[in-house]
Amino acid sequence: MTLNQYRKIADKVGGEVGETIRELVRELEEAREVIRGQKIPPLLGSKEVAEYLEVDPKNMHHTRKTRFFPEPDLLVGTRPFWFKTTIQMYQDKLTEWRDRNAK
C-alpha cells in the first residue's frame, strides 16, 4: 500500500484515528528523508529538551542525571544536542517505567 492510500484511508476514517494515521505517515516520510540523507533529523538543545519534557531549563543538569536520560547525540563544543527522536524514546521509556512501578 502507498502512503497516498494511507492518507485517503485517514481522510475516510477521520477523527482521532484519521489524525493518528496522518501523523504516522508524516513521521514515515520524515524518516525516509533522513535515511536517504536528504534531511537531518531535528536537533534539540538543552532549552528545547527542557521545554519538550516540561522541565525548568534551570534544572536540566539534574534532569540529565536521571534514570534512562540519554547521552547527547552530538556535541558542538561543549553544548549538547539530542535528536528529537532520542528524547521521544527517553520519554516513552520513562513513562513505561513509571507506569510499571506505579502498580
Give per-residue pLDDT as tens, 29-45: 888 887 787 777 789 99
12 and 56, same structural domain?
no
16 and 63, same structural domain?
no
48 and 29, same structural domain?
no
96 and 75, same structural domain?
yes
Q: What is the full DSSP assignment across 67-96?
A: TTPPPPSEEETTEEEEEHHHHHHHHHHHHH
22 and 56, same structural domain?
no
* Domain enclosing residue 67, as ranges: 43-102
Question: Which regions in the chain score pLDDT beneath 50?
Answer: none
Instruction: Provide the whole-model pTM.
Output: 0.62
61 and 27, same structural domain?
no
Contact indicator for 53, 91 with CB cutoff of 8 Å: yes
57 and 97, same structural domain?
yes
Distance, in Å, from the CA atom of 50 to the CA atom of 73, rounded to the nearest integer, reads 16
62 and 95, same structural domain?
yes
- Say how many domains are in the chain: 2
97 and 49, same structural domain?
yes
Contact indicator for 49, 14 with CB cutoff of 8 Å: no
pLDDT of residue 103: 67
